[in-house]
Structure 1
Amino acid sequence: MIDALVIGAGPAGLMAAEALVAAGRSVVVCEAKPSPARKFLMAGKSGLNLTKEEPFKAFVGRYDADWLRPMLEAFGPKEVTDWARGLGQEVFTGSTGRVFPEAMKASPLLRAWLGRLAASGVHLRIRWRWLGFENGGLAFDTPGGRQVLNPAVTILALGGASWARLGSDAAWVPRLAEKSVAIATFKPANVGFRVDWSAHMTRYFGQPVKGAALIAGHQEERGEFVISINGLEGGGLYAVSRAVREGAELRLDLLPDRSEEELAAQLSTGPGKVSVTNWFRKALRLDPVRIALLQEWGRPLPRGNALARLVKALPVPHQGPRPIDEAISVAGGIRRDALTGGLELKALPGVFACGEMLDWEAPTGGYLLTACLATGQWAGRAASADIRERTA
């Protein structure tokens, strides 16, 4: 018998363990992979974006789930920053408000965190794969054979359904569904979209598109994205991916700082004796990548005012989102109405859940990691309180 079992050693699970051990609980963390926090480490390879420094109203407004608000109030951008500094990792804020550790990578922060957890008494067991519930306990496939644990409380932090090779394989879904836990179907979030390119676009694969705005329904976002062999991907696109996934038409404003009237005046004379490419370059100061997109999706090119409208709202024909396993994150998961205010599963008293297992969605830019940490801490504190009530 142990006080608390945490299944999953990603950011949400480790934060839950930290909250539990801080409350004086004995904690075991079980991780199926040979090492913890693999998706966290992967996210940090190109620069670990911890959180976003902005007014809280704007910050919390980037989430699609209002019920996360108290958790983000308890552990929001300031708390994430203080937590990283408490692990000896100084941070800095970029020009867009994104907060990064000075080392940029995730590995120094993770090493410091695991060291602190071990020193606090948290026991990490790797290659322990959860098999499901068994005779009132939780069964695991382990290097030493099948094991069954009987904790006072359990926190599930098993991730979503993207990047299965890093551990988020959603194998837990049928195990909870058979226990009558309501689960919303997973959908890809922060994901690229498939495009069937013509041959002339090959030269632009891997190149970023800068200076454009993406329009999806009533949403407009500025941000860089990339042309890939499979279609379009990158942070600017991810910001509108939810709206596009739900059916909004995707368009590009190739010159968001210039009005349609201004462009119409500049395009009124036509190309004359120069090539269309040179005309766009000289008249509009478009770079080769945006000119290529205009020609890819705008032909046959109209003239005059119609061409100006096309530059300001170029339709993006796509074949839907890339597969869910390629998505940065997911929408869907354990529904809000299946949880108590402390993130305990109503159908399974004593079992809590956190992180990407829960049904919420947010863009990249520090929002994902902050919510994983916040829900992990919230679940850990609630589980500790549950133990206290049981033993009072």
Structure 2
Amino acid sequence: MTDALVIGAGPAGLMAAEELARGGRAVTVCEARPSPARKFLMAGKSGLNLTKAEDVATFTAQFVPGWIAPFVAAFGPEAVMAWARDLGQELFVGSSGRVFPVAMKASPLLRAWLSRLDGLGVRIATRWRWTGFAADGLAFETEAGTRILRPRVTVLALGGASWPRLGSDAAWVPWLAGRGVGIAPFRPANMGFAIDWSAHMTPFFGQPVKGAVLAAGGQRLKAEFVISRRGVEGGGIYALSRPVREGAQLVLDLLPDRTEAEIRRRLQAVPRRHSLSNRLRRALGLDPVRIALLQEWGRPLAGEDAISRRIKALAVPHAGPHPIEEAISSAGGIVEGSLTDELELRALPGIFAAGEMLDWEAPTGGYLLSGCLATGRHAGRAAAARR
């Protein structure tokens, strides 16, 4: 009989494997893909954002629903940074508080981590795809055919439903649901929104929108976003994606540092013989991309009153979120009521779950990775202690 099994070699699974091994267990990690942590490596290509340097209360408040917060608090920003440094990764904190390895990429950290796991005796079996429950164990399709494992304890860390091409395809949902595990439907998170642009917006595809404040669902933030061929995306959009996905109106303030009255006075000072674009540029310093958005969504723009109102509260009409396959992360998964405080499945004693399989979401900016590491750590420790 296998002693301790981890299914999934992403950050949550590798952290669970490390804790199991430190707890004296003989650990096997089964990974369906040809190599571990492929989504982790892809996420780190533009700079591996490990966590965010802020106090634990502020950090954990970003996680929804709140039941996930205690696991994150137990392995918060300082602990994540200490863990990465212990793997030989020098870190720096950016101006926004985001924490990155000096190397920026994920691959050096992953190599060091895999080396440490190897030293702890962790065995990683790639191209082992879990295919569900057998009569007396867990079934896998491997290059050598079907294999059945009967572990004493198991940690599931198979990811959610975003980026299925890298392994997070939620194929496990019917297998767990069929065994009495409650699962909230998956929904896209940290995603863009579809917009049917008019032809005049074509020259702006790929351009960032700077200097605006975005608002939705009672939240406001000053952040950049990007106009793409299919809609809007980028950090500012992702940060508000949850309330917008749930039906809140997304609104832009194109000139957050000026009042509506001041905008009106400045527009009145520029003669109307000039085109609207020239008046907006001369009076207000609006760049071409913000002018284009105002003309795309703000019409009719008849008179200074209407223009100033639209500049301060420009509603963004969209056709819904981009598909979950294109989302950075997913919301939904195994619900709180199906788990013990140790992240053990109530319906399946001896089987624990971690990472994006669980029903939680958080914004980008270091929160997602921290959540996966924290829940993997907790599940691994609890599984190691189970007899």
TM-score, normalised by the number of residues in structure 1: 0.97
The reply to whether residue 183 of structure 1 matches residue 183 of structure 2 is: yes
Q: Cα deviation per residue 1:69-126 (whole Å; 9 max; x = unaligned)? A: 2211221101110111111111100000000000000011111111110111000000
Amino acid corresponding to residue 293 of structure 2 in structure 1: L
SS of match in other structure, 2:33: coil
The reply to whether residue 19 of structure 1 matches residue 19 of structure 2 is: yes
SS of match in other structure, 1:117: helix
What does residue 294 of structure 2 align with?
Answer: 294
What is the correspondence of 1:357-372 to structure 2 with a 5 Å cutoff?
357-372=357-372
SS of match in other structure, 2:197: coil
The reply to whether residue 207 of structure 1 matches residue 199 of structure 2 is: no
The reply to whether residue 109 of structure 1 matches residue 89 of structure 2 is: no
Amino acid corresponding to residue 142 of structure 1 in structure 2: T
Q: How many residues align?
A: 387
Alignment partners' CA distance in 1, 2:116 and 2:108: 12
Amino acid corresponding to residue 282 of structure 2 in structure 1: K
- Give me the CA root mean square deviation: 0.9
SS of match in other structure, 1:279: helix
The reply to whether residue 172 of structure 1 matches residue 150 of structure 2 is: no
Q: Cα deviation per residue 1:256-281 (whole Å; 9 max; x = unaligned)? A: 12122211221234652222111111
The reply to whether residue 50 of structure 1 matches residue 45 of structure 2 is: no
SS of match in other structure, 1:282: helix
After TM superposition, the runs of 4+ consecutive aligned structure 1 residues lying more than 4 A away are none
SS of match in other structure, 1:248: coil
Alignment partners' CA distance in 2, 1:190 and 1:73: 22
What does residue 87 of structure 1 align with?
Answer: 87
- Report the more deviating stretch, 324-333 or 214-223: 214-223
Alignment partners' CA distance in 1, 2:8 and 2:367: 20
What does residue 242 of structure 1 align with?
Answer: 242
SS of match in other structure, 2:372: helix
Determine what percentage of the aligned residue pairs are the same residue: 67
Alignment partners' CA distance in 2, 1:6 and 1:14: 8
CA contact (8 A) 2:38 2:166 kept: yes
Q: Structure 1 residues 271 and 171 mapped into 2: Cα distance closer, same or farther (>3 Å)?
A: farther
The reply to whether residue 343 of structure 1 matches residue 335 of structure 2 is: no
CA contact (8 A) 1:44 1:105 kept: yes
- Report the more deviating stretch, 350-359 or 111-120: 111-120
What does residue 319 of structure 1 align with?
Answer: 319
What is the correspondence of 1:229-308 to structure 2 with a 5 Å cutoff?
229-269=229-269, 271-308=271-308
CA contact (8 A) 2:193 2:232 kept: yes
SS of match in other structure, 1:81: helix
Structure 1: unaligned runs, 5 residues or longer: none
Amino acid corresponding to residue 12 of structure 2 in structure 1: A
Alignment partners' CA distance in 2, 1:283 and 1:39: 47
Give, in angstroms, the shift of residue 65 of structure 1: 2.1
What does residue 68 of structure 2 align with?
Answer: 68
SS of match in other structure, 2:325: helix
SS of match in other structure, 1:92: strand
Give, in angstroms, the shift of residue 284 of structure 1: 0.7
Alignment partners' CA distance in 2, 1:140 and 1:184: 25
Q: Structure 1 residues 149 and 282 mapped into 2: Cα distance closer, same or farther (>3 Å)?
A: same
Amino acid corresponding to residue 61 of structure 1 in structure 2: A
What does residue 145 of structure 1 align with?
Answer: 145
Alignment partners' CA distance in 2, 1:376 and 1:328: 19
Alignment partners' CA distance in 1, 2:231 and 2:272: 33
CA contact (8 A) 1:270 1:303 kept: no
CA contact (8 A) 1:35 1:126 kept: yes
Structure 2: unaligned runs, 5 residues or longer: none
Q: Cα deviation per residue 1:37-84 (whole Å; 9 max; x = unaligned)? A: 111011000000000111222111111122222211221101110111
Alignment partners' CA distance in 2, 1:118 and 1:74: 26
SS of match in other structure, 2:130: strand
SS of match in other structure, 1:379: helix
Q: Structure 1 residues 271 and 27 mapped into 2: Cα distance closer, same or farther (>3 Å)?
A: farther
Alignment partners' CA distance in 2, 1:159 and 1:302: 51
Alignment partners' CA distance in 1, 2:12 and 2:44: 16
Alignment partners' CA distance in 2, 1:359 and 1:261: 45
